[in-house]
Amino acid sequence: TERQSKRRRVVLKLSGEAFGGGQLGVNPDVVSQIAREIAAATDRVEIAVVVGGGNFFRGAELSQRGMDRGRADYMGMLGTVMNALALQDFLEQAGAEPRVQSAIAMTQVAEPYLPLRAERHMEKSRVVIFGAGAGLPYFSTDTVAAQRALEIGADEVLVAKNGVDAIYTADPHKDATAERIEQVTFQDALVRGLKVVDSTAFSLCMDNGMDMRVFGMEPAGNITKALLGEPIGTRVTA
């Protein structure tokens, strides 16, 4: 399908961990700050958000502790929907017009995932929030962000991280020799095992020519900067 608008269009990936402020559940102060930063860019950029769910459940962790992996992953996906609703609420409070689309049917709380309708929302400056991941066990929300970006014709995937401001050669919290990387190819990121974003997301972007930027949510203002296309964090290209 042909894109109707000429404005910059992005998919922003927000980790669930950020929503919890390091704890289980949703921290309203954190989510309202994120919402205000998104709302500040809606007049210039078309924005879709993919929310993670790590502040509630991660399927892989639950399955290591004895649960069936598929069922545990569905719990993880349901967690992302709670984050989506929290973000929707704070976006409304911040003056934006959010719409939630879920990959798992949940008609009372979210529209079904409909990519064409998502694009129409974005053309009207509404922020689309994609919940429930891809609706598929064994996937991560990083990968969903890449897939949604491809399907709705976004220019870039923006991966917001907390606790780290870019991609490094190693974990900067554990390795004093870790160096910050300004720009890297998906191929290099995969070969060097740079794990801030999962490998399926990297390879999907690599195979389909989707650009990515990995940046830190801190300090305040960074999310708006990334949405507007400022060169913060690490640029990842094909």
Q: How far is the CB of 123 from ligand UDP (least distance, A)?
A: 26
State yes or no: 137 annotated in a binding site: yes
Q: Does 161 contact ligand UDP by CB under 6 A?
A: no
Q: Per CB under 6 A, which of residues 42..81 are in contact with ligand UDP?
A: 52-54, 58-60, 73, 76-77, 79-80
Closer Cβ to ligand UDP, 90 or 139, answer by number: 139
Q: Does 134 contact ligand UDP by CB under 6 A?
A: yes
Q: How far is the CB of 20 from ligand UDP (least distance, A)?
A: 9
Q: Does 20 contact ligand UDP by CB under 6 A?
A: no
State yes or no: 171 annotated in a binding site: yes
Q: Does 144 contact ligand UDP by CB under 6 A?
A: yes
Q: Does 131 contact ligand UDP by CB under 6 A?
A: no
Instruction: Tally the C-alpha atoms within 13 A of residue 206's C-alpha that lie toward its C-beta.
Output: 15
State yes or no: 141 annotated in a binding site: yes
DSSP collapsed to 3 states, the chain = CCCCCCCEEEEEEECHHHHHCCCCCCCHHHHHHHHHHHHCCCCCEEEEEEECCCCCCCHHHHHHCCCCHHHHHHHHHHHHHHHHHHHHHHHHHCCCCEEEEECCCCCCCCEECCHHHHHHHHHCCCEEEEECCCCCCCCCHHHHHHHHHHHCCCCEEEEEECCCCCEECCCCCCCCCCCEECEEEHHHHHHCCCCCCCHHHHHHHHHHCCEEEEEECCCCCHHHHHHHCCCCCEEEEC
Q: Does 98 contact ligand UDP by CB under 6 A?
A: no
Binding residues for UMP: 53, 73, 134-141
Contact residues toward ligand UDP (CB under 6 A) are 15-17, 52-54, 58-60, 73, 76-77, 79-80, 133-134, 136-137, 139-141, 144
Binding residue numbers: 13-16, 53-54, 58, 73, 134-141, 162, 168, 171
Binding site members for ATP: 13-16, 54, 58, 162, 168, 171
